[in-house]
Structure 1
């Protein structure tokens, strides 16, 4: 790993009672509590809702967040506030202006690496936390090293480029070998689709849906997505936008803040259960647009959803080339 920032480097800009302080993001503030006093009070309002065993598991966990953009980045702060203290944050990209519509960043963060900003956010909430920022992509060369020693993986790796899929497959292969559960998120218009791969009991990477052989065969990213996301949960408005947008140079898949933020909440809840050793659903889907629409409008939209599903299936079958020009960061 290169360009890794550890806890002391990030928070060494301010001093506190025991040599600990908050990073520059909160200038002039220091931690008045000792490390022993901080955590019980920090998590006091969790009590009664988070079991003692779960809180202890959160305290001792080491969580890898692979991809710190709109999906993985949304999970960092909720996990920190629940009580996770040790993170490995992996992201090669930097913030752009068009990220600010949904990602937890400020205008002053534009141009900064997302993993490094995420590490500062962790320490701004818990100055006794440990956050490593790795400014590389996940690859077959580093995936096992990144996963080693982790209790949980949050998979926010980009799925709109062939390179992203190579990283995702390598990440899941490493997690499966290490028997570490993975939570993956896919935000689509107002729909958040979450897959949980509980490798604690074994199982093929990505459930066998996507393999290195698929990558070697040059499958398009749309074909690979079709294998991990049921077509019935893909919103028709997104299908229509993708199909029309593919003809435009530099097309970016649209994303919304409330859908991205929802992944953070779902991933945090799943983390509590998984780290305590409990079983969870293998997949879940929340359609925010459907939740807030009157029931009669949901029924009225059914024909459009059916047409969208069929159009998506035809679109995927017709794909024979790569994904140049598609962006989702």
Structure 2
């Protein structure tokens, strides 16, 4: 396994050349006019707005509770190119709220299953599934070449990395978050508005509640995702976003909506001489490659679950992983082009070609990393 040089190299290694330049569409076909007729009628979209949607390149980060409905809505609305990014596999506990997936997808890499479903929803949309973890080492490649980024993540560290990459590249970023019965959203226009670090300057994943403890109501996810899609469409069609320098709070308990004004922090990385400065997350070293290990929401009836994320993008040999796993008593549960899931004695090990992994049923971060090292040969 060797270190990759970003998203482009990984795509080449996987034999999936993705065109970086798409020919601009100057008029809609008769079928497109009919398909999108009910939104073309809207003054806020119209024919020209639909053309803008058709030519837009949108990156959706996260294919879970928020990312799933966002991807479905934008695909149905005719956004021309969608890059869908996620590091995870489909779990049974996802299905009550992530309607992009079915029981048949359990154990599959999320973005791989999602891409197939999205193409069925609208075959004219170009969907690029990207099975990588978003962190300080990968975020710049993840957002490269896109006009807009929409946040469906569940990690504050990943959000900070994504925010920083969008600030550096000058790409609009639509934030959304939801937990329990509460949700929030805002829009970041680099150079014009507060960024996520301005609004939430010192959060830590270790201090944040999780859905395995707090739970999450599917309705709050669809409400927040609808707001995010609305903001995204406004930006794509050339309108001012409503949530510029405003943070929206939604409380499903009493169906209340409130906004607070936010402003840029002059000491934040998005301002002045600090603009574009990289902020490096705490990491754990394994061999010669740097990893981050973090605990996720419990899975499979509350078993401890850990993600293992390389700082960069690797090129994993899934056949070699399968052979090693077999020698350790693991059996293959599911496998696709982008990843593999293996199970043994109440433990589950899912690894992507990019090197990110999720380990279920071990007792500690060290145990998760030890299992990773036993399964995957790590070398420079």
Q: TM-score if structure 2 supplies the norm length?
A: 0.56
Partner Cα separation in structure 1 for residue 197 and residue 158 of structure 2: 16
Partner Cα separation in structure 2 for residue 82 and residue 7 of structure 1: 25
Deviation per CA, 1:274-314, whole angstroms, max 9, x where unpaired?
1122222232222233129xxxxxxxxxxxxxxxxxxxxxx
Partner Cα separation in structure 1 for residue 297 and residue 75 of structure 2: 32
Partner Cα separation in structure 2 for residue 286 and residue 204 of structure 1: 20
Q: 1:269 to 1:206 in 2, by over 3 A?
A: same
1:47-58 superposed matches below 5 A: 47-49=40-42, 50-58=45-53
Match of 2:198 in 1: 208
Match of 2:226 in 1: 265
How far residue 141 of structure 1 moved from its aligned partner, in angstroms, is 2.3
Partner Cα separation in structure 1 for residue 71 and residue 187 of structure 2: 17
Match of 1:128 in 2: 124
The structure in which a higher percent of residues are strand is 2
Match of 1:93 in 2: 88
Note if contact 2:89-2:108 (Cα within 8 Å) is conserved in structure 1: yes
SS of structure 2 residue aligned to 1:150: coil
Match of 1:36 in 2: 29
Deviation per CA, 1:1-30, whole angstroms, max 9, x where unpaired?
33678699xxxxxxxxxxxxxxxxxxxxxx
Note if contact 1:192-1:259 (Cα within 8 Å) is conserved in structure 2: yes
Q: 1:60 to 1:6 in 2, by over 3 A?
A: farther
**Alignment of 1:150 onto 2:146:** yes
1:203-282 superposed matches below 5 A: 205-209=195-199, 220-221=204-205, 251-279=212-240, 280-281=242-243, 282=246
How far residue 77 of structure 1 moved from its aligned partner, in angstroms, is 0.6
Match of 1:195 in 2: 186
* RMSD across aligned positions (CA): 3.0
List gaps (5 residues or longer) in structure 2: 1-6, 19-27, 257-292, 300-304, 306-380
Name the stretch that deviates more: 50-59 or 122-131.
Answer: 50-59
Match of 2:254 in 1: 290
**Alignment of 1:117 onto 2:103:** no
List gaps (5 residues or longer) in structure 1: 9-34, 160-164, 226-241, 293-321
Note if contact 2:78-2:125 (Cα within 8 Å) is conserved in structure 1: no
Partner Cα separation in structure 2 for residue 7 and residue 82 of structure 1: 25
How far residue 142 of structure 1 moved from its aligned partner, in angstroms, is 2.2
Note if contact 2:157-2:204 (Cα within 8 Å) is conserved in structure 1: no
Aligned counterpart in structure 1 of residue 103 of structure 2, from 101, 107, 111: 107
How far residue 69 of structure 1 moved from its aligned partner, in angstroms, is 0.8
How far residue 103 of structure 1 moved from its aligned partner, in angstroms, is 0.8
Partner Cα separation in structure 1 for residue 204 and residue 248 of structure 2: 25
Name the stretch that deviates more: 138-147 or 59-68.
Answer: 138-147
Deviation per CA, 1:204-251, whole angstroms, max 9, x where unpaired?
64243456xx5xxxx63265x6xxxxxxxxxxxxxxxx5xxx9xxx95
Match of 1:13 in 2: none
- Equivalent residue pairs, number: 239
How far residue 325 of structure 1 moved from its aligned partner, in angstroms, is 6.1
SS of structure 2 residue aligned to 1:184: strand
How far residue 254 of structure 1 moved from its aligned partner, in angstroms, is 0.7
**Alignment of 1:178 onto 2:142:** no
**Alignment of 1:73 onto 2:68:** yes
Q: 1:286 to 1:79 in 2, by over 3 A?
A: same
Partner Cα separation in structure 1 for residue 200 and residue 183 of structure 2: 20
Aligned counterpart in structure 2 of residue 61 of structure 1, from 47, 56, 60: 56
Q: TM-score if structure 1 supplies the norm length?
A: 0.64
Partner Cα separation in structure 1 for residue 132 and residue 222 of structure 2: 24
